[in-house]
Amino acid sequence: MNKKKCSLLLLCLQGILGMYAQQKDSIPIQKLAEVTVSESRFPLKRSQTGKIVTKITDEDLQKTSGKNLAEVINSVAGIEINGSTSHPGQNLGYSIRGSRNRQVLILIDGIQVTDPSAISSDFDLRLLNVDDVASIEILKGASSVLYGSGAAAATINITLKETETNGFSAKATWVAGTNQSQDNKNYRIDDLYNAYSLGGKTGKISFLTSLSYQDLEGLSAIKTEENKPDDFSRINALAKFSI
């Protein structure tokens, strides 16, 4: 009697598992839409957000040859980056709608780069090469709900380039220019800038590396009778890997 009960129980379990497997296989798989981080917690059109969003695309960046990232953002209406067009090595100050550095948040690929523990809480935008940037989004207005108290005035979100298809790409940039004042018109080549970048993707791994060097005989912050140049050099290196 016990053997018959066990056999009947096993047959019932097999039948239930078979029906469950067929039911599970018949469930349609629905691909969810891509979720994009925006300036609001709910998906809204830009015209309905009530906030001013300025986007600098890759096409816009290609038209700014010879400028650094601070000069590019400084050209946006309503944004003043003090020191971007001043003497080389000058500290930068961000002023958006009368704000200060501690009220402007800077993100690179969604990661905060401004140091809230620092006194000025600033980030030198000149450390990034313009050729490595895919787009820039500037959100004017309070965004503390999304990003914290550091975004009380504005948020600058910088997106770096990323290769989407398998393969490799390389780019080299050379820029030469003058660096002079109204009183010193010698038209010499005093500003040299070289930048090299290499990116690619193989399988699920993508990478971006770049190296740039700038050497110039800039204007001195101290006025002298001889108008001696103030030598300045900067080396930037970037490495980004994604899996």
Q: Which residue is listed with tokens 């018109």?
A: 185
| CA 109/CA 106 separation, integer angstroms | 10
- The type of residue at 177 is G
What's the confidence (pLDDT) of residue 123? Answer: 82
Would you state the structure tokens that stand for residue 137, as one six-digit string?
């989004």
Per-residue tens of pLDDT for the chain, all 243 residues: 444 444 444 444 454 445 544 444 556 676 665 545 455 555 555 554 556 788 899 999 988 877 889 989 988 888 888 877 777 777 788 888 777 777 888 899 988 887 766 666 678 888 888 889 999 998 887 665 677 777 778 889 999 988 777 888 888 888 888 777 666 666 777 788 889 999 898 888 889 999 999 888 777 767 766 667 778 888 989 998 888
Please check whether residue 149 is in contact with residue 99, taking contact to mean a CB–CB distance below 8 angstroms: no
Q: φ, ψ for residue 6 (rounded to 5)?
A: -65, -40
Query: pTM above 0.75?
Result: no
Domains of the chain: 46-160 (2.170.130.10), 167-242 (no CATH)
| CA 172/CA 122 separation, integer angstroms | 29
What's the confidence (pLDDT) of residue 41? Answer: 52
What's the confidence (pLDDT) of residue 35? Answer: 47
What's the confidence (pLDDT) of residue 108? Answer: 92
Q: Which residue is listed with tokens 């917690």?
A: 41
